[in-house]
Structure 1
Amino acid sequence: MHMNFFRDRDGLTYSYRESISLVAENTDRPMYVAWDWYMGHGVVGGMITSGRMQGMNAAQRALRILGGEPLTSIPVEYESPNVYMFDYEQLQRFGVRESSIPQGSLFINRPPSFYGRYKTYIWTTASAFAALSLVVLVLSVNIIRRKRSETQLTAIFDNSLVGIMLLTGDRIITKVNKRITDIYGFSEQEMLGKTPAMIHISEQAFDDFGRNFHERLASREVIHLEYEYQRKGGERIWCLVSGKALQPPHLEKGVIWAMDDVTVRKRAEEALQRAHQELEKRVEERTVDLKETNEQLVKEIAEHRRTEEALRFREKKYYQNLELIFGSLPDAIVTVDEGLRVIEANKAFEHIAKLPRRDLLGNRIEDVMGNCLGPCMRVLRQTLSTRSPVKEQQVRLAGERSDQVVELSTTQFLNHDGVFSGVVLEIRDITRMVELEKRLHERGSFQNIIGASERMQELYATLENLADFDTTVLILGESGTGKELVAEAIHYGGANAEAPFIKVNCSALSESLLESELFGHVKGAFTGAYKDKIGRFEAAQGGTVFLDEIGEISSNIQVKLLRFLERREFERVGETRTIKADVRILAATNADLAHKVATGEFREDLYYRLKVMVVTLPPLRERPEDVPLLVEHFVAQFRDRHGRAIHSIHDRALAALMRHPWPGNVRELKHAVEHACIVCPGEAITPEHLPQDIRSGLAPAAVNNVTDMSPAVDPAPLSAHTRSAKTMPTPAKTSSLSRDAVVAALDQARWNKSEAARILGISRRHLYRKIDQFRIG
C-alpha cells in the first residue's frame, strides 16, 4: 500500500502515516507495506525499502556530480536495499508466530529483555566488579611476590657470607644474621636488644666508635673502615666494616652495618709489611755493602794491575830458574813424545841412563834405559794408550841393588795448544823410605818408650822427624803417659845428643826459686844469695831444657820465658847484663793450655810460641794392645830388682790389666806390675796378685769370656802374650783393606789424601797405591 494524502468525507485531510494508522486501527487483517516510512503506524511489516537509505545514496551521487565526477563513472542503481522488518506489537495483535517470520528479520516495538532493560547497569556493575577483581588480583600477586621476596631476602640475610647487623638510632641491636654470630661467637639471643659494646675491646673503644663513625651516618655518608673487635672469649679480631643509615639523616629509623672477618688478611698484611721493612733494611745494608765492595774492587783492580806488572817481571825470572830447578830435582824426570823418543831429561835421569843429556835427546827411551826398562816401558805405554796418568806405582828393580825400590808416576805432556803430545815419567827412589816404614811397623819400642800400636808407630815417626830439627816442641798428654821419656827421645835421637839435657819441674818450685833456677842469680840478688849461680838455660848451652808442667808457671815467669824463646837471651836475677844461650826448649803439660789461654791464666803469645810443634801422647786406655808389651817390660825390670823368678802371667790377669781404664796411664800400670811382682811367690802372675781396684773390675761374666777364649790353666810365657799383642788387628794391617773402605775414608776426608791415609792408618804413598790398585777415580 502506498498512500500520500487523503481527505475524508468530512473534508479532513490526513497524511499518509495518519491514514495508515486509521486503517490499521479499524481492520482485523494484518497490513503489509513496502516502505519503512509506514512502520510503527499499525502495519505488520514486510519486505521494506528504506527511504532514508535511498536519500543518502542520492545525496552521495549528487555530491559526486557536484564534485565534477563524470556521470559515466557513477553507476546506476535500479534497486533499493530491502530488508524484512516487522512490528512486534502488530505480530502479537494478529497472533503471528515469530517462528514463521523469515530468518534475519528486524523487529520494532519489541519490548526490551531484562538484559536490554538493565544492560547499562549490568555492564557498569560488571566493569566495576572486573576492575575490583583486577585490583584484588594485582594486590594478591604483589603480596605473593612481596612474601616471596621477603623469604628470599630473609634467606640471603641469614646465609650471607658477610655479617649484617641492624641497630636503632641509639645503637640497640634489633637483628643479626648467622655470619655475625659466627664471627663474634655470641648467640643471636645474647646480642638482640643490647648494644654492640660486647664486641668492642673496651667501653672506650665502643664510645669512640659511636662518636667517630656511628653519628656520621646522619650526613648520608657511607662509611668503610677496618676496626679491631673481640670475640666472646676475648680473642682480638679485625673486621672490614661498612655502615649506612636506612633513611638518612634520621638515625632513629635504623642503621645497618655489614662486617667481615679480615683477621687473616690483616695479619698477613702486617707480616708482609714487616717483611717489606726487613727487605728494605737488607737492601739498604746490601747497598752499603755493595758500595764498600765496589770501592774495594776498585782498589783490588789497581792492586791487580800492579801485581800483573810484578808478575811479568817475575815470569821472566821464573823461566830462567825453571831449568835450574828441573835440573836439580832429586827425582829422575824424562819427557818422551808419542813415538817414545826423548824430548827432555834432567840430571837425575842422566845418572840413571849413564848418558849425558845431549846423547839422550831424540833417542828412543828403550835404547837409553837401564835396569828400569821393563816397568818404565809398561807405565809409559799405559799412559800413551789410555792418556791417563799413573800415580806412584811402586816397583822393585833387579840389578846391582836387588833391594832398590822406586816409585813410577806418569802424566800427560801437552803442547802449547793443550794437545796430547807425549808422556812425562818421574822415577823416585823410595828404597830408604820403604825400609823405614818396614822398621816402623815392626818395632815395638823407640828409645825407652814401649808400644807397638798404630798410635805409637805414628808417635815414633813424629819423633824421628823432630830429631832432625832444632825447634821448640810442646808435649801434651795425661799424667803418667811418658812425657819425660818423649822429651828424652827427642833430645837423644837428635844431632845434639851429646849436649846437656836438663829437666825442670815448673810446678815443684815457687816463682822466685823457679826464676833463679832458670836464669841464675848473682851474689846479693836476694836474701840467701851468697854467691853467683848459673841458671839452667846457661848450663844447657848447646843442649836441651825440658820444662815439665809448663802450664803452672806464673805470669811473671811467662813474660821472661817468652822473651827467651823469641831472642834466646836473658839476664840473671839481680844483674843487668844480657846473656845469650843456644838452647832447645821442650815443654810438657797435662793441662788444657788452650782453655788456660781463654781464661787468661796463660799468655796467648807464649802459647803459640811453644806450639811450634805439638806431640800428643795417647792415654793407655786408647792403646790396650800395648799392655802386654809394657807388662813384659816391667816384669823383667822388677823381677831382677826384687829377685823374683816370674816368667809368665795368667790369661785372666792379663785380661784384667787390658780391660782396666788406667786413669794413671803407664805410671799406674808400672806400679800395678811392681805390686804383682812383690806379692807373687811363684813363676806366674795370677789375678790374686793384682791390686784390689784392678781385681774388683774383673766381672764374673768377663772372667768367663776370657776363660772361654784362653783357658785358665797352663799360663803362657810373657813372650807369647807379647807376640799376640803384636799380631793384633790394628789399622796398620792394611793388606785386607777393601775398595769400599778406601772410598769411605776418602769421602769422609773430602778426598784429602793425607787425612784419608790417617783415617786408614796407612801412609799417603800406600794410599796412592791402593787408589791405583782399585782404580778409584
Structure 2
Amino acid sequence: MNKNSRKILIADDEPDNIRILAEALTGDYKIIAATSGGEAIECAVCPNPPDLILLDIMMPDMDGYAVLERLRADGKTRHIPVIIITALNRDVDEIRGFDMGAVDYVTKPFSPAVINARVRTHLELRDSMQAIKEANTQLHREIAERHKIQEELRKSYSLLHSTIESVAEAIMVIDKKGNLLTINRKFVQMWYLTEKWSAENDNRKRFDMLLERVRDPETFARRFEDLLNAPETDDYDTFEMRDGRIIEFYARPYKIGDIITGQIYTYMDVTERVRMQEELQESERRYRAVVEDQTELICCFRPDRTLTFVNDAYCRYFGRTREELIGHSFMMFMSPVDRKKMEEHLASLNRENPVAGIEHQVLNADADIRWLRRTDRAIFDDQGHITELQSVVWDTTDRKLAENSLKDATMEKETSRIKLEAVFRSIPEGIVTVDTRGQILRTNESLRKICALASHMNSGKFSDQLMEECHCIHALRKLLKNGRTVSEHRIQCDAGDSGNRNLNLTTLPLLDHNKKSMGAMLVIRDVTRLVELETRLGERSSFGGIIGRSEPMQRIYSLLEQFADTEISVLITGETGTGKERIMESLHFGSSRSEKPLVRVNCAMLAENLIESELFGHIRGAFTSADRDKVGRFEMARGGTLFLDEIGEIAPHLQAKLLRVLEYKEFERVGESRLQKADVRIIAASNVNMAEQVRQGRFREDLYYRLKVFCIQLPPLRERIGDIPLLAKHFMELGAKNMGKHFTGLSDEVLSVFAHYPWPGNVRELKNAIEYACVLCPGHMINIEHLPPEMLTPPEKNFLSRMSSVPMSEKEAVLDALKRTKWNKTKAARILGISRGTFYNRLLKYGIDTE
C-alpha cells in the first residue's frame, strides 16, 4: 500500500457491511473501521484523521445523524467529507442527511461502481478545495507584496510628478486636507482649465471652478467629501460633465513609505466606451427579448455538449434554473438510446450541411416522457472546426400521441371491420339490411339456410314474390314506414321441403353517428328446435337435484343435457346462493367422469402464497416449510373433475400457469421441473362479472375465453319467482325429515311475502328462511309469524306487489306486462314468471294482437 494512500473510515455496526464496503472500494485506500458512533468520532479526531467517512445511519449507541452533528461541530473534523450509506430510502431521510452536513447519500443495495465513483469524486473535491485555499493564501501574499512596492514608488514626489505626466490619463494629487499637490497636462485638457484656474491660490475657489464643469455638482461635491474623509480607501465611480462626456475616476491613497499623505485621482474619458456598451447591452436586450418571448426551447452548447445558453422556456420545461443547466450536458435528460441517436445526428453536421433536424424523447420537469423535435445549426471557425451549436426545440408529444392514436384507431377500426365481417358471415341468424328507400344492401349466408325465398333477396329492390309471400319483409317495411320496431316476434314460415319453421323476427333501425336513420336491419332466428324443446321440457320441474320449472331453468336443463358428457371447460356465473355448485355436480355426475374424483377448491379461501402449492402440489424442500412431498388438487382429481370456485380471486401469476394447464394439459409441482399430465375436466365458478374483471385488467383475457368455452349464467331467484313455491316445498320436506316434524304446507301469506321479497341471498337465503321457519313452527301449516323478522319489512311497490294489492284479471295482467316491457313478449313472460309457451297460449286465448 502506498504511504500516500487515502484513509477512509467505514462506520457501521454490522461487520459484514464493513467488509462488503471495503471489498467494493477498488482504489488505493487505507480502510479503517468503526462499529459504533462513538468509535467513529474517536477515529475522526485522532492525530491522523481520515480523508473521507462512509457512515451508516442506523447504529445502536449513536445514530449517523448524531455522529454528523458532532463532526460538524468540531473545527478539526468539520472539513472531512461524509457519505451516508443506508437502507433508508425516504426523501425526508435523505434531506435530513444533507441538512446535517453529508456530502452524499447512497441507499442500499448499492452498485460498487457507484460507490467508487462517488468516493473518488468527493476526495477530488476535497483536494480541489485545499488547492483553492492554498492558492488564495498565495494570492493574498502577492497582493500584499504588490502594495508594498506601490508604496515605495510613491516616496518621491518628483518621481510621481514625472510619472503622472507620462501617463495618458488625467491625474490629480491632493493632500489629506484636500489641498492640490499636482496635476498633469491631461487633467488640464480634460477639464478645459484656463490660466485663471492655475493662477488661483485658493483651493476652495479652484474646486468651485471644477464644479461648474460637472452636470451634477452637488453629488460630485458630496462624493469628493466622502473620499476625502476616507483617504485610505480605494474607490471607483463615474460622473457626467456638462458637455455630456462620461468621466471614470479612481481614488487611491497617496503614501510616502508606509504613511498615507493624501490621495491620487485618475480620470479617464469613457464616453465612447459607455456608448458602445449601451449599444451592446441594447442589442443583447433585444436579442434576449426575442429569444425569451419564444415558446420554443432555445439553447446553445459547445462541441463537448455542455450548455452555454438557455432561454426561459427551456428552464421551465426541464424545471431547472440557468445556473443548474449552464455547463452541463444538454443530453442529461435523454435515455442512453436517444443519446446514441443524438450523437450520430450531430456527427452528420458539416460545413456543407450545417443544419439538420431530429426527433427524440426526454424526461421533463414532471418526470414525464415527452417527444421533442429539434433543429440544430453548427457554427464553424476558419479551420472548419465546430465552435458552437445552436438549437431550436419544439414539444411534439401531442402530435406524436395523435398520430399514434390515429394509427391505433385505424388499426382498431380495420380489426373491428374484419371481426364484424366474420361475425356477419358466421352468425347463425339470418340478416337482411336495407337503406331508407328499401333497397337491399346485404344478406348473409345463414339467411339462405333459414329462408326459402333468400335467393330472391339480391341487391336492389324486393321482388314481387317477396312483397306478396314473405312475412319477414312485411316486418321490415313496417319499420321503414312508421319507425315501429319488432322484437322477438314469432311466426311460422313454410320452408318448402323442410316443412314449417318457427322463426323469431327482430327489426332494428340502422343509425349513423348522428343518430340519423340510414335504413333498417332484419334479424331472423330459427327457433324451431327451441319450440320443440319448450314443448318437450315445458313442464319439467327438476333436473339432477336442481329444482325449478321456469323458462330460464328449462334452458339450463337443456344445456346440461347437451354438455354434461363433454370434455370442454365450463364457466358458471351467477350471484351468491344461486346454486352454482348444484350445476357443477350435475355436470360431473352426468359425465363419463362421474366415477372419478370430484375435487373442490375455493380460490378465495386460500392464501395467495399457498394456492399454487394447493393446486399443483410441491416436492420436499421446495420452500422453507416443505418437509415432505404434497399431492396437489390437480393430481387428486386425476381422471375426474376439478371445481375452481371463486375463480376471479386467483392471483395474476397463477392465472398464467392455469392457462398453461388448460392449453397443454400439463403442469409442474412447486420445486420440480418434471411435467405432470393433467387429466381433469375444469369447471370454474364466480359470483362477480368476469367480463368486467377482464376489462379492468384483474383477470387475463385469454384465460377468461379459455374457461368460458361453455358458459352457464344462473338467474337470480328474483327473476324466477315462479320457482319459489317448488323450492320452498322441497326445503320444507327436507326440514320435516331432519326434524321429525310433519308440515302440511306454507300459507298464502308466506307465499305472498316470498313473491315480493328481493332475495339478495337467492336460493341459499330461501333455504335458510325455510329452515328457520321449520324450527319455529311446531307442525302443520307454516305461517308468516314463523319467518325471519327481516323478511317481514314492507316490500317495495313493484309490479308484482301491485298485482297482489289491486284486483286484476289474467288478461289485464298480460296486457300490463306487455306495456311495461314495450311489447317484448320474452320480458313480459319473465315478469309474470311463466314460460314463453304458456305466455303465447294466453295471447291466443284472449285474442291479444302483439302487432
Would you say same fold, with TM above 0.5? no
TM-score by length of structure 1 reads 0.38
TM-score by length of structure 2 reads 0.35
Choose between structure 1 and 2: higher helix proportion: 1
Q: Answer with 1 or 2: which has the greater Rg.
A: 1
Point out which structure has higher relative CO (alpha carbons under 8 A, 6+ apart): 1
